[in-house]
Chains A and B, each alone.
Chain A
Amino acid sequence: MIVHRNIFCAVIQITLGTLIYILLREPVYFTEPIIGSMPNTPLITLPDNMWSYALKFILPDALWCTALLLYASIIEYKALRLVVIILAPSMELGQLAGIVPGTFDPVDLLIYFLLTLIFITQWERTKQKSF
Chain B
Amino acid sequence: MGKNKTKVILGHCAALCIFALIAVASSSSKDAIRGVDDFVEGYNYGKSLVSDASDEIEPVEMDSVITDTNSPLVATIK
**Which residues of A line the B interface, CB within 8 A?**
14, 17, 21, 25-30, 40, 60, 64, 67-68, 71, 75, 77, 80, 83-84, 87-88, 91, 95, 100-103
A67 to B27 alpha-carbon distance, docked (Å): 17
Q: Interface size for chain B: under 10, 10 to 19, 20 to 34, or 35 or more residues?
A: 20 to 34
Residues of B within 8 A of A80 (CB): 9, 12-13
Q: A40-B30, A40-B37 are in contact. Are A71 and B19 (CB under 8 A)?
A: yes
Residues of B within 8 A of A40 (CB): 30, 34, 37
**Which residues of B line the A interface, CB within 8 A?**
9, 12-13, 15-16, 19-20, 22-32, 34, 37
Residues of A within 8 A of B19 (CB): 64, 67-68, 71, 84, 87
In the assembled complex, 24 residue pairs joining A and B whose CB atoms fall closer than 8 Å, in A order, are A21-B26, A25-B31, A26-B29, A26-B34, A27-B29, A28-B29, A28-B30, A28-B31, A29-B29, A40-B34, A71-B15, A71-B19, A80-B9, A84-B12, A87-B23, A88-B23, A91-B20, A91-B24, A95-B27, A100-B24, A101-B24, A102-B24, A102-B27, A102-B28
B-side interface mostly = helix
- Closest Cβ of chain A: how far from B34's Cβ, in Å? 6
Residues of A within 8 A of B22 (CB): 14, 30, 64
Known: A28-B28, A77-B9, A91-B23; 6 extra A-B contacts, CB below 8 A, are A21-B26, A28-B31, A30-B25, A67-B19, A84-B16, A95-B27
A33 to B45 alpha-carbon distance, docked (Å): 30
A68 closest partner in B (C-beta): B19
